[in-house]
Structure 1
Amino acid sequence: MESTLKNMVAVLFGITLVASAGVGVVNMITVEPIAQSKQAATTAALTEVLPPFDETTSEELTIDEMPITVYTATKGGVVAGYAVQSMSKLGFGGAVRMMVGFDPDGRVVNINVLEQTETPGLGTKMCDEGNPLLGSVKGQRLEDKQLVDGKLAVRKDGGDVDALTAATISSRAYVDAVNRAWMAYKSVATGTPATDVASGASQQTNNEPAAQEGGQNE
C-alpha cells in the first residue's frame, strides 16, 4: 500500500510538472503575437485620429485613478498632433475606451472607440462614423464649447454635445472619456499638471427612473 501511494503521488507530481511546463511553453509562444497584435491595433488607432506623422513618443498619466496614455506625434521633427488613449467607467455596459486625436492647436481631429460593451443598436452607435457625439466635437477646440464646470457635457446636462438617441448613459460615458483625454492632452501639451475630471455624469442619473429593458433612461 505504501509503495502504491508513493507511486500515485509521483505520477500526479509528474502530470502537474508536465502541465505546468506546457502552460509555460504556450505562454512563450503566444505572448509575442499578442503584444504585436496590441501594438498593431494601437498604431492603427493612432493613424485614424492623428494628422500624418513620422513617429510618436508616449507618456503615461493617471487621472481619476485611471491609466491614460498620451502619444505626441511628430513629422519632420515638428509636433503634428497628440493622441490620447482614454477611458471612462460610466458606460451602461461597463468601461468605454477610446483614442482621441488633437491637432497642435487643440482641435479634435477624430475619435476612435477602442472598446465598449454598450447596448447593441443604442450605445454601440458611438462607434458609428459621423455619430452625433463625434459630430459635436470633431474639428473643434473643446474650450470653445458650451462647458459645464469647465467640462464637456451632453445637452441634457447643460452642455452642447448631442447625445445618441435613447442612450444618454452611454453618451455621458463617451463625453467623460473625451474630457479625460482633453485634460491629459492639455497636461502634456502645456506642461501643466493633470487634474481629475471627476465627472458628474453618475450623479446626474440619481434622480432618473430605473433603466428600462432595451433603453437607458432616455
Structure 2
Amino acid sequence: MVLTLLIITLVASVALGYVYQFTKVPIELAQITKVNNAIRAVVPAFDNDPNAEVYKAVVGTDSLNVYPAKKGGVVVGLAVETFTEKGYGGRFELIVGFLPDGTINDIAVISHHETPGLGDKIDKRKSNFSLQFKGKNPKDFKMMVKKDGGDVDAITASTISSRAFCDAVTRAYEAVMKGNVK
C-alpha cells in the first residue's frame, strides 16, 4: 500500500511540474497583454512602446512601474501600475493613467479579490465608482472617502474597498509627482 501511494504521488508530482512548465510562459504572456491593454485604455493615444521605456518609481518602501506614453517624442501621459494590500479581499492591482499635469485620465483594474456584488464594483465594468476619479487632479481632489473627510463617494456597503482604491490611486499619484526613480 505504501509503495502504491508513493508511485501515485510521484506520478502526480511529475505531471504537476510538467503542466507548470508548459503553462508558465502563456500565463506570463497573458499578464503582459492584460497590462498593455490597460495602458492603452488609461492614457491618451501614443506611438511609442511604453514597456520599452518603463521605469520604477519609489513610493514608501515599494516601487511601482511607470510607463511613459509618448506621441511624436512628447509625453502625453503616464500609466502607473499600482497596488494596495488594504482591500477587503486583500491585494488588488490597478493601472492609473495620468496626463502630464497630474490629472487622472482613467483607471483600469488589473486584478482583485473583492466580494462579488459589493467590493468588485471598483471595476468600471461593474459600476461607475471609478469614473468619479476621471478628470480629477489629486492635488485638488481629496483622495479619501467622504466618511473620512474626502471627496470620494464610497461604494455602498464597501467602504473598505473604496478606501483601498483611494490608497492605490494615491500611491500612483505620489509615484508620478515625486518622480523618485529607482
Same fold (TM over 0.5): yes
Identify if the C-alpha distance between structure 1 residues 103 and 175 changes in structure 2 by more than 3 Å, giving closer, same or farther. same
The one of 24, 36, 46 equivalent to 1:53 is 46
Identify if the C-alpha distance between structure 1 residues 61 and 105 changes in structure 2 by more than 3 Å, giving closer, same or farther. closer
Once the 2 structures are TM-superposed, how far is the Cα of residue 28 of structure 1 from its aligned partner? 4.2
Partner in structure 2 of residue 116 of structure 1: 112
**TM-score using structure 1 length:** 0.70
Q: How far apart are the structure 1 equivalents of 2:44 and 2:73?
A: 14
Identify if the C-alpha distance between structure 1 residues 176 and 29 changes in structure 2 by more than 3 Å, giving closer, same or farther. same
Q: How far apart are the structure 2 equivalents of 1:29 and 1:92?
A: 33
Q: Does 1:32 align with 2:25?
A: yes
Q: Which blocks of at least 5 consecutive residues in structure 2 are unaligned?
A: none
Partner in structure 2 of residue 155 of structure 1: 146
Structure showing greater radius of gyration is 1
**TM-score using structure 2 length:** 0.82
Q: How far apart are the structure 1 equivalents of 2:153 and 2:125?
A: 15
Once the 2 structures are TM-superposed, how far is the Cα of residue 63 of structure 1 from its aligned partner? 2.6
AA aligned opposite 1:31 = K
Identify if the C-alpha distance between structure 1 residues 186 and 96 changes in structure 2 by more than 3 Å, giving closer, same or farther. same
Query: Would you say the 8 A contact 1:97–1:116 is kept in 2?
Result: yes
Once the 2 structures are TM-superposed, how far is the Cα of residue 113 of structure 1 from its aligned partner? 1.1
The one of 155, 178, 181 equivalent to 1:164 is 155
Secondary structure (helix, strand or coil) at the match of 1:45 reads: helix
Once the 2 structures are TM-superposed, how far is the Cα of residue 60 of structure 1 from its aligned partner? 2.0
Partner in structure 1 of residue 36 of structure 2: 43
Once the 2 structures are TM-superposed, how far is the Cα of residue 129 of structure 1 from its aligned partner? 4.4
Q: Does 1:107 align with 2:107?
A: no
Q: How far apart are the structure 2 equivalents of 1:62 and 1:23?
A: 37
- Cα deviation, 1:87-124, whole Å, max 9, x if unaligned, reads 11111111121110011122111111111111211111
Identify if the C-alpha distance between structure 1 residues 155 and 78 changes in structure 2 by more than 3 Å, giving closer, same or farther. same
Query: Which structure dedicates a bigger proportion of its chain to strand?
Result: 2
Identify if the C-alpha distance between structure 1 residues 22 and 124 changes in structure 2 by more than 3 Å, giving closer, same or farther. closer
Q: Which blocks of at least 5 consecutive residues in structure 1 are unaligned?
A: 1-7, 195-218
- State the identity as a percent: 40
Query: Would you say the 8 A contact 1:132–1:162 is kept in 2?
Result: no
Number of residue pairs aligned between Structure 1 and Structure 2? 174
Structure number with greater CO (CA < 8 Å, separation at least 6) is: 2
RMSD (Å), alpha carbons: 2.6
Q: How far apart are the structure 2 equivalents of 1:123 and 1:27?
A: 31
